[in-house]
């Protein structure tokens, strides 16, 4: 079958040891930040440059992967069916995440008793963090999905316009039949080159993790958490419960163990922990899920789309942070206002950047849109947002991995025998338990 070879694209040298190097970078960064806070702050560019390098490659990688996946599938009805199932799953899980965050923040009441006055807050740093972005209406958000030019989709730093363009491009190629094969082959080769470049960049992951962790500990420190520790602890616990209970249930339905999946993805989890960016492992995650038995076509569609539409960790953060600010500023929200806030969050959480700080910018835009909670109150979160970004990114990554397995199983494009064998979940299932799996490559529809 035509398409980018996801099983051999972005594997850096000594891949089995990368997680050791990243973990070492995290530990050394934390120690350095504790021993020499001032010097550690100077390490910030290391983390920033690494994340910028990842962001530089995400748009072309998403474009080539999605366009190739749609074009090589051939059957546009099949592509539409997979896409619809993925969107249904995304919407259900992000809604659950938003509701869980809302319930937990009301139970913990982390902002109660702060009694902050938004009129006295310095919003200079807040403006710098959000880059002065204005709020968007629903119509403006939809219009923004369509780029003003072909190249414009790749320079704005947003994933949704790239996805829109990739879907059109892939659909056009799929409809061209034989005439579209040369263009498809060219996209495959270009995509392969970008994956190889990503593999080179990933060699710097330990340095990026060191710089990011050193800056975080050196700049903020444990003492700076203060009254916000309760919010941060609550968010981490909530994210962990969502992964273990929510995503664990989905894994059980699929037929695999969540703990085995987390062990299988340990390299990627540590890279995300160090960089606070789930985008930093996008190609590696696609590689591993393909090797796990998911159809390459499903992987190419679900993973890139999920990085815009299925940000579970960001969804939990958005509701907890928004209600925390309201509690801290003594803003009483009615049930109707909270439901309206959730409705807006369902929109703004789609397309939120999956890089460090993306959730904070999205939250600022949401509060500007609703007008019920003063945006100045976000200044209270500046000191701990960086600490919570790791949990956001980790939850987002695991959520998209589970989503791919779920959609692949739902579509009948998951080789469950391979998945269970790769995860070490026991012997292959009997044939009666694998009716919905995909036959080996070369033995079914769409195989070359």
362: pLDDT confidence band, cut at 50, 70 and 90? low
| pLDDT at residue number 15 | 44
d(C-alpha 93, C-alpha 351), whole Å: 15
Question: What's the CA gap between 330 and 112, in Å, rounded?
Answer: 8
Rounded Cα distance between 108 and 238, Å, is 11
Indicate the pLDDT class of residue 294, thresholds 50, 70 and 90: very high
Mean of the per-residue pLDDT values of the chain: 76
Q: Rounded distance, CA 303 to CA 301, Å?
A: 6
Q: What is d(CA 189, CA 295) in angstroms, rounded to the nearest whole number?
A: 20
Is the model's pLDDT at 94 over the cut of 90? no
pLDDT confidence tier of residue 13, bands split at 50, 70 and 90: very low
List CB contacts of 148: < 8 A, sequence separation 6 or more. Answer: none
User: What is residue 261's predicted lDDT score, i.e. its pLDDT?
Assistant: 94
Nearest by Cα to 300 from 291, 315, 308, 290: 290
pLDDT category, 9, cuts 50, 70, 90? very low
Specify the higher pLDDT residue, 50 or 96.
Answer: 96
Instruction: Please give the pLDDT value at position 75.
Output: 63
How high is the pLDDT of residue 199?
75
The whole-number pLDDT of residue 290 equals 92
At residue 242, the pLDDT reads 93
R_g of the chain computed on alpha carbons? 22
Is it the case that residue 316 has pLDDT exceeding 80? yes
In percent, the amount of the chain with pLDDT more than 90 equals: 14
* Residue 125 pLDDT level (bands cut at 50, 70, 90): low
- Work out the pLDDT band at 118, boundaries 50, 70, 90: low
Instruction: Name the pLDDT band for 359 (thresholds 50, 70, 90).
Output: low
Higher local confidence (pLDDT), 14 or 403: 403
Checking if the pLDDT of 351 tops 60, the result is no
Six token digits for residue 280: 């930093």
Low-confidence winner among 185-199, 302-316, 379-393 (lowest mean pLDDT): 379-393
- By percentage, how much of the chain surpasses pLDDT 70? 73
Q: What does the block give as tokens for 21?
A: 């190097």
Please state the φ and ψ torsions of residue 294, each to the nearest 5 degrees: -80, 140
Distances (CA, A) of 122 to 73, 118, 129, 381: 53, 9, 13, 13
pLDDT at residue number 348 = 65
CA 304 to CA 82: how far, in whole Å? 13
Nearest to 257 by CA among 420, 410, 421: 420
Find the mean pLDDT for residues 174-194.
83
Average pLDDT over residues 228-250: 88
Residue 97 has pLDDT above 60, yes or no: yes
Contact status, residue 293 vs residue 415, Cβ threshold 8 Å: yes
Least confidently predicted of 75-89, 216-230, 303-317:
216-230
- Mean pLDDT for the stretch of residues 258-283: 85
Q: Are 213 and 29 in contact (CB under 8 A)?
A: yes
CB 420 within 8 A of CB 254: no
Taking residues 364-379, report their average pLDDT: 72
Confidence label for 77 from pLDDT (cuts 50, 70 and 90): confident
| Residue 426 confidence (pLDDT) | 57
Mind listing the pLDDT tens digit for each residue in 277-292?
777 788 889 889 999 9
* Mean local confidence (pLDDT), 129-138: 53
pLDDT at 126: 54
Exposed, middle or buried, 45 (CB in 10 Å: 0-12/13-18/19+)?
exposed
CB distance 399 to 347 below 8 Å: no
At residue 148, the pLDDT reads: 83
Q: What is the pLDDT of residue 439?
A: 35
The domain over range 15-433 is classified in CATH as 3.10.20.30: no
pLDDT band at 443 (very low <50, low <70, confident <90, very high): very low
d(CA 268, CA 246): 21
pTM for this model (two decimals):
0.69
Q: For residues 413-441, give the mean pLDDT.
A: 62
Say whether pLDDT at 259 is over 90: yes
């Amino acid at each position: 079958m035509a398409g980018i070879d996801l099983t051999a694209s972005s594997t850096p040298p000594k891949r089995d040891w990368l997680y050791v190097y990243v973990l070492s970078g995290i530990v050394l960064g934390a120690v350095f930040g504790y021993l020499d806070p001032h010097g550690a702050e100077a390490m910030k560019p290391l983390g920033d440059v690494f994340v910028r390098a990842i962001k530089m490659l995400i748009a072309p990688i998403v474009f080539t992967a999605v366009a190739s996946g749609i074009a090589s599938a051939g059957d546009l009805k099949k592509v539409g069916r997979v896409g619809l199932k993925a969107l249904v799953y995304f919407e259900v899980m992000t809604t659950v995440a938003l509701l869980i965050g809302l319930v937990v923040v009301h139970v913990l009441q982390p902002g109660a008793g702060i009694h902050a006055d938004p009129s006295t807050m310095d919003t200079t740093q807040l403006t710098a963090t959000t880059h002065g972005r204005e709020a968007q209406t629903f119509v403006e958000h939809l219009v923004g999905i369509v780029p003003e030019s072909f190249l414009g989709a790749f320079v704005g730093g947003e994933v949704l316009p790239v996805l829109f363009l990739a879907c059109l491009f892939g659909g056009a190629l799929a409809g061209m039949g034989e005439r579209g094969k040369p263009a498809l082959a060219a996209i495959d080769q270009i995509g392969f080159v970008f994956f190889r470049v990503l593999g080179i960049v990933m060699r710097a992951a330990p340095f990026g993790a060191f710089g990011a962790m050193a800056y975080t500990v050196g700049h903020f420190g444990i003492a700076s958490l203060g009254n916000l520790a309760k919010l941060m602890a609550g968010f981490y616990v909530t994210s962990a419960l969502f992964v273990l209970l929510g995503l664990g249930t989905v894994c059980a339905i699929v037929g695999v163990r969540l703990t085995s999946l987390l062990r299988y993805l340990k390299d990627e989890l540590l890279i995300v922990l160090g960089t606070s960016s789930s985008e930093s492992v996008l190609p590696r995650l696609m590689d591993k899920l393909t090797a796990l038995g998911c159809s390459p076509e499903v992987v190419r569609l679900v993973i890139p789309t999920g990085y815009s539409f299925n940000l579970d960790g960001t969804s939990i953060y958005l509701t907890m942070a928004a209600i925390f600010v309201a509690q801290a500023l003594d803003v009483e929200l009615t049930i109707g206002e909270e439901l309206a806030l959730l409705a807006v969050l369902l929109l703004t959480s789609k397309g939120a950047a999956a890089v460090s700080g993306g959730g904070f910018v999205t939250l600022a835009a949401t509060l500007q849109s609703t007008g019920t909670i003063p945006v100045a109150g976000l200044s209270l979160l500046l000191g701990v947002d960086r600490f919570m970004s790791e949990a956001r990114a980790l939850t987002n990554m695991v959520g998209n991995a589970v989503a791919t397995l779920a959609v692949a199983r739902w579509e009948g494009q998951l080789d469950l025998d391979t998945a269970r064998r790769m995860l070490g979940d026991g012997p292959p299932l009997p044939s009666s338990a694998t009716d919905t799996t995909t036959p080996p490559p070369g033995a079914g529809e769409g195989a070359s």
